[in-house]
Amino acid sequence: MDALSPCVVFAPLTAAAVLAGLTSIAKRAVVDTVALVGAVTTLVLTVALWHRTLDHRVVHWFSGWKPHRGLAVAVGLTADPLSAGVAVLIALLTLCALVYAWRHLESGSHHLPVLILLFEGGLIGFALSGDRFIMFVFFELMSVAAYALTALLVTDRGPLEGAINFALINSLGSFALLLGIALLYADTGALNLAQMGQALAAHPPSPAAVLGIGLVTVGFLVKAAVVPFHFWLADAHAVAPTPACVLFSGVMAEIGVFGVARVYWTAFAGAVGPHQHAFGLVLVAGGAVSVVVASVMCFSQQHLKRLLAFSTIAHVGMVLVGVGLMSTDGLAGAALYVIGHGAVKAALFLLAGIVLHRTGSLDDEYLRGRARHLKVTGVLFAIGGLALAGLPPFGLSLGKGMIEDAGHHYAWLPWLFLFGSALTGGAVLRAAGRMFLGLGPDESNTEPADRYGESEEERETRDAADRTPFVLMAPAVVLLLVGLAIGLTPHLAQHTETVAGQFRDRAHYASAVLDGRDGRIAVETKVPKAAGTWWSLASALSAVAVAAAALFRRRMVDASVRARARVLGAPVRALRRLHDGYIGDYAAWFTVGLACVCGSFALLVR
pLDDT digit string, tens, across residues 435-483 = 999 998 776 555 544 444 444 566 676 665 678 888 899 999 999 999 9
Please give the Cα distance from 311 to 291 (Å, whole number): 9
* Among 122-131, 441-450, 556-565, the range of highest mean pLDDT: 122-131
Highest mean pLDDT among 396-405, 437-446, 576-585: 396-405
The average pLDDT across 262-279 equals 87
Give the Cα separation of 259 and 256 in Å (integer): 5
In a domain, 421, yes or no: yes
311 CB-near residues (< 8 Å, 6+ apart): 294, 295, 298, 345, 388, 424, 427, 428
- Inform me whether the pLDDT recorded for 527 exceeds 60: no
Number of domains into which the chain is organized? 1
The single-letter code of the amino acid at 175 is: F
pLDDT tens readout for residues 148-189: 999 988 778 888 998 999 999 999 999 999 999 999 999 998
Give the domain range for residue 333: 278-443+470-517+530-556
pLDDT attached to residue 217:
96
* Confidence band for 277, pLDDT divided at 50, 70 and 90: confident
Mean pLDDT for the chain? Answer: 88
In-domain check, residue 548: yes
Instruction: For residue 75, give the nearest of 83, 86, 84, 63 by alpha carbon.
Output: 63
Domain contains 232:
no
Instruction: Give the mean pLDDT of 93-122.
Output: 86
Picking from 425, 430, 313, the residue whose alpha carbon sits closest to that of residue 364 is: 430
Is residue 340 pLDDT above 60, yes or no? yes
Given a cut of 70, whether residue 17 has pLDDT beyond it is: yes
Share of the chain above pLDDT 90, in %: 62
- Please determine, for residue 579, whether its predicted confidence score (pLDDT) is greater than 70: yes
CA angle 93-238-374, nearest 5°? 70
Which pLDDT does position 35 carry in this prediction? 93
Question: Does residue 182 form part of some domain?
Answer: no
| Amino acid in the structure at residue 167 | A
Q: Is residue 93 part of a domain?
A: no
Asked if 519 contacts 511 with a C-beta cutoff of 8 angstroms, the reply is yes
3-state helix, strand, coil in the chain (%, to 5): 75, 5, 25
Residue 605 lies in a domain: no
Q: Name which residue leads in pLDDT, 38 or 275.
A: 38
How far from 233 is each of 147, 382, 586, CA to CA, in Å?
11, 24, 11
The lowest-confidence range among 52-66, 81-95, 281-295 is 52-66
Segment of 36-50, 143-157, 533-547 carrying the highest mean pLDDT: 36-50
Residue with more model confidence, 517 or 512: 512
Has residue 599 been placed in a domain?
A: no
Q: Mean pLDDT throughout 342-347?
A: 97
Stretch 533-542: mean pLDDT, rounded? 88
Q: What is the mean pLDDT of residues 8-37?
A: 88
Average pLDDT score over residue span 538-557: 83
Residue 159: cis peptide before it, omega within 30 degrees of 0: no
- Residue 136 in domain: no
Query: For the residues 195-217, what does the mean pLDDT come to?
Result: 90
CA distance from start to end of the chain: 44
- Residue 186 belongs to what H/E stretch? helix 157-188
Share of the chain above pLDDT 70, in %: 89
